[in-house]
């Protein structure tokens, strides 16, 4: 059975290059965590799905795939209902200090900065280099890709491992966690839009598919194209889907290369951005600029 699973995984890898089968899970063990690295999209991106660690790293525990919490902290209610938003400045912007570890190469650092600055083109969020602020996002190369949800106080780790996490969509994904957003498929209304097949989920990782009751959906529809949505084969134990869209099972999920218009809309609504418009930010890695945005004349 083990050999068959490996062969199936290799086939998934081959077909993923062709863009037909979107997921391959590779187990990676480290001193502190057991991670599932998920290869996805045609660029062979890897996203970490780290479940409960054998040993806590600085008393941290990773839940919901890439959301980190302090041990003992319950994760039952949406963080934003507990007052964990980043403060708004008198000029209407939300300044979020950050620090980037010197472990990254210049190219990796540039990619991270591109992801940080992409928010300023679409929202009132302004990620700014930390000076002497007490609270800040501390971007480090640790085991996998993960973040706290919302502002937690002091330097809160956001991990972007150099092997698989330094990509635009993943950087935006983890930064959205830091701003207070959970995964799309944890929404309170998710059962109307996707079916979770727990029988195909790796034993011991079922918590990654918990649903958040009374989630703050901000008056927005369920978004299959959200950069916060898991892929069809996330945490699969047998190569079979773990998430299937309903009523149309063929809808593509978990393949976003950047924030969707709905992701951007939610940031603007959550933080009360006063642009009065909805920005559509299109990222292209070939552009010398960070992103190219076109203003859509639709209110939010």
Beta bridge partners of 194: 245
User: What is the C-alpha to C-alpha distance for residues 37 and 164, in angstroms, rounded to an integer?
Assistant: 8
Where are the strands (E) in the chain, listed by range? 24-29, 34-40, 45-50, 60-63, 67-70, 94-100, 125-129, 136-140, 145-147, 155-160, 194-196, 243-245, 278-282, 292-296
Residue 181 · residue 227 · CB < 8 Å: no
- The number of beta carbons lying within 10 Å of the beta carbon of residue 235 is 25
Q: Is 51 annotated as a binding residue?
A: no
User: What is the C-alpha to C-alpha distance for residues 66 and 148, in angstroms, rounded to an integer?
Assistant: 8
Q: Is 173 annotated as a binding residue?
A: yes
Residue 237 · residue 4 · CB < 8 Å: no
Residue 8 · residue 239 · CB < 8 Å: yes
Q: Is 207 annotated as a binding residue?
A: no
Residue 197: CA count within 13 A, CB half-sphere: 18
Q: Say which of 57, 103, 108, 174 is annotated catalytic.
A: 174
CA 173 to chain centre: 3
Catalytic residue list contains 103: no
Annotated catalytic residues are 174
Binding-site positions for Zn(2+) read 173, 177, 183
Binding-site positions read 173, 177, 183
């Amino acid at each position: 059975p083990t050999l068959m699973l490996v062969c199936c995984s290799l086939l998934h890898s081959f077909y993923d290059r062709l863009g037909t089968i979107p997921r391959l899970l590779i187990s990676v063990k480290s001193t502190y965590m057991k991670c599932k690295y998920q290869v996805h999209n045609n660029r062979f991106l890897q996203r970490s799905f780290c479940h409960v660690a054998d040993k806590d790293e600085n008393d941290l525990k990773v839940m919901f795939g890439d959301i980190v919490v302090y041990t003992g902290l319950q994760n039952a209610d949406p963080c934003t209902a507990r007052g964990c938003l980043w403060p708004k400045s008198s000029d209407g912007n939300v300044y979020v200090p950050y620090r980037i570890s010197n472990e990254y190469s210049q190219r990796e650092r540039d990619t991270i900065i591109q992801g940080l600055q992409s928010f300023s083109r679409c929202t009132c969020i302004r990620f700014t280099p930390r000076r002497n602020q007490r609270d800040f996002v501390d971007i480090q190369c640790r085991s996998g890709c993960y973040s706290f949800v919302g502002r937690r106080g002091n330097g809160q780790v956001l991990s972007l491992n150099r092997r698989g996490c330094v990509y635009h969509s993943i950087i935006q994904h983890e930064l959205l966690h830091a701003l207070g957003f959970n995964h799309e498929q944890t929404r309170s209304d998710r059962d109307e839009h996707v079916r979770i097949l727990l029988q195909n989920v790796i034993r011991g990782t079922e918590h990654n598919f918990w649903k958040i009751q009374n989630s703050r959906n901000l008056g927005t529809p369920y978004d299959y194209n959200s950069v916060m949505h898991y892929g069809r084969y996330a945490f699969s134990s047998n190569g079979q889907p773990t998430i299937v869209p309903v009523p149309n099972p063929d809808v593509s999920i978990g393949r976003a290369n950047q924030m969707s218009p709905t992701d951007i809309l939610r940031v603007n609504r959550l933080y009360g951005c006063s642009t009065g418009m909805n920005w559509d930010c299109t990222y292209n890695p070939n552009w010398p600029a960070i992103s190219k945005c076109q203003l859509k004349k639709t209110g939010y």
